[in-house]
A and B are shown apart, each in its own frame.
Chain A
Amino acid sequence: MADQPGAAVMEAGALEFRGAEVDLVDERRESRETVGTPFIDDPRMSCRDVNVYYSDNHAIKNVSLDIGREQVLAMIGPSGCGKSTFLRALNRMNDTIDGCRMTGEIKLDGNDIYAKDMDVVPLRALVGMVFQKPNPFPKSIFDNIAYGVRIHGLAESKSEIEGIVEHSLKRAGLWEEVNDRLHQPGTGLSGGQQQRLCIARTIAVSPEVILMDEPCSALDPIATARVEDLINELGQDYTIAIVTHSMQQAARVSQRTAYFHLGDLLEVGPTDQIFTNPIHPLTEDYITGRFG
């Protein structure tokens, strides 16, 4: 149970006995309760006791976590630890998977997104998502970005759409590269360009939160650097939650970091602290490269 008092005690204990007797370390190593600072004031999204199951598989166990406004939260952890599953729970993308169940509560600006009367359509307009592999639609670059604007009726006129497309492409740093071929297929771009196109497509509907699921794992280092710059920049205006496999990336782009381990959220804290002074022994093992 990751209720607040328990976590606080654990944190105090952890600080006190850091580096003490081996058996105590072992005991802490076995603990699956969240340590650090999962909760903050005035969060954009707040999750409480979230459990996600894939038919029989308990993928996310009792995770409670806040995501702050206009900042980047990185989620790290070994493969199969459930961080992507958790991310997909934040805009109910898990609904599209058969046999996926969820319990607990996730609130966006105080509204429960799993409430009965909540419609996923406006929710996903507010909580956009960028995927691991760039997935442009088999349409032109222009139509890729205009798609969300059109389906949501966000623009009154053609010129307004054009304005939004240009603005989004500029924000995504892609305008210079593609403004002369807006009507060519989006699938013809390079991998890095495609991923920035997908980011532009997401910002075009002006969401409040952007979820990113390992957005750079399919990209080369140069393209990765460009996307990371973009995330840094967007972090000033948007709330971003990013799942990443690379600790360096988490360190470069995020303000807060959450460490997931086999479905449990073990530790949350300011990125600097997690990478320099982790509390949970398993976090430390992961950071120092003993597994992962």
Chain B
Amino acid sequence: MGSPSLILALLGLSSVSYYLGWRRSISLAQGTVRNLHSLPGYHGLYTALWAAVPALLLLGVGVALKGPIVTNIVVSDLPREVQSLSPERLNLVVNDIRNLASGNIASQKTPGMLAAADRYIRLQGYAAIAITVAVLAMGVFCGAIAWRTIQPGKRARNSVERIILGFLMASSTIAILTTVGIVLSVLFESIRFFQAIPVTDFIFGLDWSPQMAIRADQVGASGAFGAVPLFAGTLLISFIAMVVAVPVGLMSAIYLAEYARPRVRGVVKPLLEVLAGIPTVVYGFFAALTVAPFIRGMGEQVGLDVASESALAAGLVMGIMIIPFVSSLSDDVINAVPQAMRDGAYALGATRSETIKQVVIPAALPGIVGGVLLAVSRAIGETMIVVMAAGLAANLTANPLSAVTTVTVQIVTLLTGDQEFDSPKTLAAFALGLVLFVVTLGLNVIALQVVRKYREQYE
């Protein structure tokens, strides 16, 4: 039985348990629900949960262990010389066996391999049967015990609530587990990368050409992993984006909050927010297909040499994407400035723009700075626009008309297509991911702190 049908079977089992628990509680109460501590439904739920939860946990453990155990048995039956291969090569062999077993194309198809694949399939079948039997037995056993313990005085509701509370608590730890997962996964691989490439070379190196380092016996074996050109490219594009997004976003927020009539605001604000809802791949499409050729054409008109994948095009479109982000955050903080503050300036005879420039903006400044920091973190982490519209060439330049590459572009390039998991080339992507995570996390923490302080000031 496959996992989905097994889960369905367990659901059926627990429904039956619910009914049995419910029945038993009623019959024990001699038809008078008042005699029970908890309503019959809770007794049913109690039985059902006992029937399902331990069995599900067992299923999870079984599925997790099945693969490695079967693989181990198959490997231990392989010829000696195969077993003595290096872990990477052995891994390839195992992959081939798996591919043969699932009917896919494998690189080698010797009789030995075919036999191993057969064995693999057979073992998989045994394991599946064993798991099915164990899980169903577990469900029936636990359900029966729970059913037996039902008494009129049993605090079934309290038990059920405790189980649910446990589930709630477990869910809320997922956020932490995610962060831990991110940190561990990028950190672990990064450490392996830094064992091959010194940290200083990575952070201060000016030359980035990871494509060289595919095999140790090739010419130019040790590729260059100096990430400075990537950092510079990321900063250049983010800078262009912020030059577009901050003034435009801020001014739109000001216009909508302070000048526009409610009806205009009611129409324009959602329209601007549409910009925020458009998937980044669409921006990338527009940048690569329309904006970049347009800028290149403009450059040709005035005699400038513009790369077809210029930083300017990517930055410009990214800036447009971030406009609604800046403007809605600024809108929030501008609206949080108390009206009394504006009244004070108006009552002195300040014009609207004077009030805004000299009273509202300075008062809202911390909040706006926080918002801009969040926007910067977004620009740095943005991927699709740069993957589609920025280049792959790691040029160290500040010229917005030339092609640059960014951290995110390189992560995507290094990890898509063929990959061996242990080459520095793949591991470099995780090192870049680590840098990206640390930088954006830092920006976010600072920005959220600043915004929170600002909110408290006016609460």
Contact = CB atoms under 8 A, between A and B. Distances in A.
B351 A129 contact: no
Nearest to A126: B349
B344 A136 contact: yes
Given A133-B340, A137-B341, A96 B346 contact: yes
Contacts of B354: 151
A151 B362 contact: no
A118 to B, nearest CB: 13
A98 B261 CA distance: 8
A124 B355 CA distance: 13
Contacts of A133: 340
Contacts of B363: 137-138
B262 interface: yes
B30 interface: no
B419 interface: no
A196 to B, nearest CB: 14
Nearest to B351: A121
Interface of B: 261-262, 338-351, 354, 358-359, 362-363
Contact of B347 (A129, A138, A151): A129
Given A135-B338, A137-B359, A205 B349 contact: yes
Nearest to B344: A135
- The B interface, classified by DSSP as helix, strand, loop or mixed, is helix
Interface in A140-194: 147-148, 151-152
Given A93-B346, A129-B347, A202-B347, 17 more contacts: A124-B346, A124-B348, A129-B343, A135-B340, A135-B341, A137-B359, A137-B363, A138-B341, A139-B362, A148-B349, A151-B350, A151-B351, A151-B354, A151-B358, A201-B348, A205-B349, A211-B347
Contacts of B340: 131, 133, 135
Interface of A: 91, 93, 96, 98, 120-126, 128-131, 133, 135-139, 147-148, 151-152, 198, 201-202, 205, 211
A152 B338 contact: no
14 contacts: A93-B346, A96-B342, A96-B346, A122-B349, A124-B349, A131-B343, A135-B338, A138-B341, A147-B348, A148-B349, A151-B348, A152-B349, A202-B348, A205-B349
A120 B338 CA distance: 21
Nearest to B338: A135
A128 B343 contact: no
A123 B359 CA distance: 20
Contacts, number: 74
Given A137-B341, A205-B349, A98 B262 contact: yes
B348 A148 contact: yes
A152 B359 CA distance: 15
Contacts of A126: 349
B347 A124 contact: yes
Contacts of A138: 341, 362-363
A131 B347 contact: yes
A121 B345 CA distance: 11
Nearest to A210: B347
A152 B344 CA distance: 15
Given A147-B358, A151-B358, A135 B343 contact: yes
Nearest to B365: A138
Contacts of A121: 349-351
Nearest to B352: A96
A150 B443 CA distance: 37
A220 to B, nearest CB: 19
A119 to B, nearest CB: 9
Q: Which 10 A-B pairs have the closest CB atoms?
A: A129-B347, A124-B349, A125-B349, A135-B340, A148-B348, A135-B344, A138-B363, A121-B349, A151-B354, A151-B350
Residue with the highest number of chain A CB atoms closer than 10 Å, among B262, B342, B351: B351
A18 B182 CA distance: 86
Contacts of A137: 341, 344-345, 358-359, 362-363
Contacts of B349: 120-126, 148, 151-152, 205
Nearest to B341: A135
Contacts of B343: 93, 96, 129, 131, 135
Contacts of A125: 348-349
Contacts of B261: 98
A103 B340 CA distance: 25
Nearest to A204: B348
B350 to A, nearest CB: 5
Nearest to A92: B346
Contacts of A147: 345, 348, 350, 358
Nearest to B262: A98
Contact of A205 (B341, B346, B348, B362): B348
Contacts of B358: 137, 147, 151
A136 B262 CA distance: 28
A198 B338 CA distance: 16
Contacts of B359: 137
Nearest to A125: B349
A93 B355 CA distance: 14
Contact of A91 (B339, B347, B362): B347
Given A137-B359, A138-B362, A138-B363, A198 B342 contact: no
